[in-house]
Amino acid sequence: MVRKRPLIGVTTQTLHAIEGIPSELPVSWVMNQRYVHAVMASGGVPVLVPLLAEDPATLREIYERLDGVLVPGGVDIDPAYYRSPRHDKLGRLDPARDTAELVLARWAVKDSKPFLGLCRGLQVLNVALGGSLWQDQSEERPDSLKHDFFPTAGWERDHLAHMVDVRLDSRLGDALGGGAVPVNSMHHQGINRLGYGLVSTAVAPDGLVEAAEVEEGFAVGVQWHPEMFSAGDRSVGRLFDAFVDAAGGASRLA
C-alpha cells in the first residue's frame, strides 16, 4: 500500500489587506508561494485555506480533512482579541484572517493536530491561547533590538538580523539544535504575555520570546521566516520536516 503524503492547510490573506491594492477589486485570498514550496520540499501536500470567517461550519469541514495547519506571516492581529486598545503604531489588519486563523489554532491545539506558525503565525498561536502582544516594540519596548527589517525598507527577506538562543530540550531544539541560531526578522510586534500552555523555546538577546510551543503535541511557532532558507540552514534546520512528519504520523493514527 502506498502511504499518502500528509495534507497541510496553509492559511491565506485577504488581498485588500495588502498595501497598494485598489479597494474596488473583488476580494481575493492569496499567499506567498514560499510557504507552499517549503511544505512540498518536506513531503507534504499543501492546500490553501480560504478565510471563511462567516461560515465556520465549512471551515471546520476543511479543517477536518487536514493533517496539519500552517499559519504564515502577514499583517497585524486586532488587539481586541487580547483586550487591548489600539496603539497608534498598529499596522494594517485583516479581520477575516484573524477570525479564521484563531479558530484554526484553537482547534488544532485542542485536537493535537500538528500546527506550525511563522512570524504572525506564532502571534496567532499565542493570542489563540490567551496571550497578548506588543503592538509596536520600538514604542512599547524602547530598549529592544531592531526587529523590523522589512523588505519595504530595503532589507532582503533572508537578511540575518540577530541571534536567538534556542532551548535544546524542545521540539524546536530537536529540529534546529540548541544554542545560538541566526535568524531573519520582519516584525514590529511580538509576544508580550505568553499564552496558556505555551512555553518559550527561543529568546532574542533583548529578552523577546522568538519561539514558543505547547508542552504536549506538535504546536510550534517561530517569530522569524524559515521558509526563506534552504533545509539544513541553521535558521530552519529540520523544522518543516519535523512538522510534516508529525502531520504524517497524525494522519496514520486517524
Positions marked catalytic? 119, 225, 227
**Can you tell me which residue has the cell 517569530?**
223
* Angle between helices 95-111 and 120-128 in degrees, nearest 10: 70
Compute how many other C-beta atoms are within 10 angstroms of the C-beta atom of residue 19: 8
C-alpha cell at 55: 461560515
- Can you tell me the distance from the alpha carbon of 157 to that of 243, in angstroms, rounded to the nearest whole number? 22
- Can you tell me the distance from the alpha carbon of 55 to that of 61, in angstroms, rounded to the nearest whole number? 10
**Can you tell me which residue has the cell 533545509?**
231
- Can you tell me the distance from the alpha carbon of 169 to that of 150, in angstroms, rounded to the nearest whole number? 31
